[in-house]
Structure 1
Amino acid sequence: MGAETSAGSPVRGRGRLVAAGMVAAGIVVMVVALLAAGGAPKPLPAGLLGAGMPLSWSVPILRFVADAAAIATGGALLAVVLFLPATDGKLGTKALRACQDAALAAGIWAVASIGGLVTTAAVILGIPLSHLAEHASPAGQLSQVRALAVAVVLTAILAVVLSGCRTVRGARWAVLLTAAALTGPLLTGHGAIERTSVWSVLATTSLVVHVFAATAWIGGLAGVLRYARSREAVELFSGLALVCAVTMGITGLVTAEIHLGGREDGWGLITQWVTSGYGALVFAKAVAFAILVLVGWWHRRTTLPDLATGDPATFRRLAVVELLIMAGTVGLAVALSRTP
């Protein structure tokens, strides 16, 4: 047991280092994107009372942490359900460890959602955090706050379910809970402003599918890298990643076209891409997506054959690079959701 623990410690240490690098990369990209595209919080004129810059900046940062934790939760669960073997429906040692990691990630997701709920309410109402209790009633009427409250409840339940999960059936129920917790906050973003609009419904639906595909792609790669680097698991993930990439490409184009106004004017989409901060971020995200597709193609061309010969080092190195790019893409997505 001692040898196993000592052997596993460097692996866990590398995993924590990669996770920390992803969080740092994502937050840096998010902050730069918000500043460049005009979505960053603006200081109030002197003498006006408001939420304050630190609180305003905490909203996108907490959103990124919640998104990263959601991806980690989904990735660990995908590993349990798809990549790790079970005996008579009961989870093995690696799958149990993945469930515990998912429970921890879900707990972080819940805490970040609580923070996001409180800070979002204060920023929207334009009041310091110390005055929020006095405005609890109007805060409760905000659609964003209600959606985050539902996410808090679902993620807290998810963390409890995962902490006691011992079977494949329990893991599948956890996947459904994860999907429900992901969906709620998406219904109050750009695409949900005009619920009577057909375009709004299409944009919201496209966004939900886009986020599901991104969670499966990014989380799935992290899950394979951490729990199941066998050739069979990597080949299975490779097929899943291809489906996710195609789905993300289509839904990303649909959502961007709707929000940038291309449905009303044939030249509208091109004009908005060139002249708006939102369009610039869409373009940056498209470039990042193209790079990820290229890396995925390189995986199929080089790392799978190397893995077949028993050499996982190339796969690990390229997967880490891919995860860091993915983290930056998540940072761009958060910035995009907060850019007019």
Structure 2
Amino acid sequence: MVAVGIVVLVVALLAAGGAPKPLPAGLSGASMPVSWALPVLRFVADVATIACAGALLGAVVLLPSDGGKLAAQGLRAVQDAAIAAGIWAVASLAGLVATASVILGVPLSHLGEHASLAGGLNQVRSLAVTIVLTAILAVVLSGCRTVVTARVCLVLAAAAVVGPLLNGHEAIVRTNLWSVLATASLVVHVFAATVWIGGLGALLRYTRERPAIERFSALALSCAVAVGATGLLTAEIHLDGREGGWGLITQWVTSGYGALVFAKAVAFAALVCIGWWHRRATLPLLADRPAAFWRLAAGEIVLMAGTVGLAVALSRTP
């Protein structure tokens, strides 16, 4: 799954014009490996975020508890979440270093000389907060035994997600109102996608019980609606830019960014079709033909991984 997402990420960056460019002769800056590592680390951090949130969602919402204490599968889920939080923290730390190197335009070997400048970057500060929160999350989850603690950790994970989102796409909004709308739309979009993908991953890993599947099915429907609506709104804001008009309509085939938006829309439509097929065909026959449901769900999670790769490429494409 991770390999699929990384391949999609690299291909999308190359095709849409977001891939790192070699430095002109005589100029110094972040090396090509560091420049390429930045989106890959972002993808790894996003996958770890989804895995952590999905495991916590499973422990809190989908899996049964025992008088407020986590049952066996719930305990397994929070331990998985602790590992994912640790990976999230490490990927964010490496991403912080790569981000500072790329933005400041200095090699890693000289980054220490510019530590004060790096500390003043909003992107670096937000990642530093994420690193602290995810490190705390990993420690708390390693000893989590109750549903209440898992709920607190779910809130902590949500807080860790928000910071980097507040620094995204700042230069392409037109007014303060559009800025607030773009940020709010992006936050809802990412939260809904995280719950949708993470929840499906939790189902595949932790349970085969019909009540959990039905609870997730209702949750996935609301997430799909939120992802679709906010995705279109965010794309229109960014494609429209400062020029006015309906950029989503005119640019999705005339710019690399628009092409990636179109690709994400196609992937989203495919995921909605899979969800519809689940409700129409595989859920009613779950007791008699469970393998059909799980095969389709496994394919769905692979497609979701590719969509995450597209999303990361989109965030790195002009």
TM-score range (shorter-chain normalised) is over 0.9
Q: 2:282 maps to which residue?
A: 303
Question: What is the CA–CA distance in structure 2 between the aligned matches of 1:262 and 1:56, rounded to whole Å?
Answer: 26
Q: 2:47 maps to which residue?
A: 68
5+ residue gaps in structure 2? none
**Contact 1:257/1:269, CA 8 A, preserved across alignment:** yes
Q: 2:224 maps to which residue?
A: 245
**Contact 2:172/2:242, CA 8 A, preserved across alignment:** no
Question: What is the CA–CA distance in structure 1 between the aligned matches of 2:3 and 2:44, rounded to whole Å?
Answer: 10
Q: 1:337 maps to which residue?
A: 315
Q: CA deviation at 1:268?
A: 3.3
Q: CA deviation at 1:47?
A: 1.7
Q: 1:12 maps to which residue?
A: none
Q: Residue 245 of structure 2 aligns to a residue in which SS?
A: coil
**Contact 1:273/1:279, CA 8 A, preserved across alignment:** yes
Spell out the pairing of 1:1-340 with structure 2 (5 A cutoff): 22-191=1-170, 197-261=176-240, 265-309=244-288, 311-340=289-318
How well do the aligned residues superpose, as a CA RMSD in angstroms? 1.4
Q: 1:5 maps to which residue?
A: none
Query: In the alignment, residue 154 of structure 2 is paired with which amino acid?
Result: V
Query: In the alignment, residue 307 of structure 2 is paired with which amino acid?
Result: T
Give the percent of matched residue pairs that are identical in Structure 1 and Structure 2: 74
Question: What is the CA–CA distance in structure 2 between the aligned matches of 1:266 and 1:194, rounded to whole Å?
Answer: 14
Greater CA drift, 191-200 or 62-71: 191-200
Change (3 A) 1:95 1:37: same
Query: In the alignment, residue 67 of structure 2 is paired with which amino acid?
Result: D
Question: What is the CA–CA distance in structure 2 between the aligned matches of 1:268 and 1:193, rounded to whole Å?
Answer: 12
Q: TM-score, normalised to structure 1's length?
A: 0.91
Q: CA deviation at 1:192?
A: 7.0
Q: Residue 41 of structure 1 aligns to a residue in which SS?
A: coil
Q: CA deviation at 1:108?
A: 0.2
Q: CA deviation at 1:193?
A: 6.6
Q: 1:8 maps to which residue?
A: none
Q: Residue 24 of structure 2 aligns to a residue in which SS?
A: coil
Residue-by-residue CA offset, 1:58-113 (whole Å, 9 max, x unaligned):
00000000000000001101100111111110001110010000000000000000
Query: In the alignment, residue 279 of structure 1 is paired with which amino acid?
Result: G
Residue-by-residue CA offset, 1:300-332 (whole Å, 9 max, x unaligned):
1222122133x3211111111000000000000
**Contact 1:195/1:201, CA 8 A, preserved across alignment:** no
**Contact 2:39/2:313, CA 8 A, preserved across alignment:** yes
Question: What is the CA–CA distance in structure 1 between the aligned matches of 2:204 and 2:54, rounded to whole Å?
Answer: 10
Question: What is the CA–CA distance in structure 2 between the aligned matches of 1:263 and 1:38, rounded to whole Å?
Answer: 21
Question: What is the CA–CA distance in structure 2 between the aligned matches of 1:79 and 1:58, rounded to whole Å?
Answer: 31
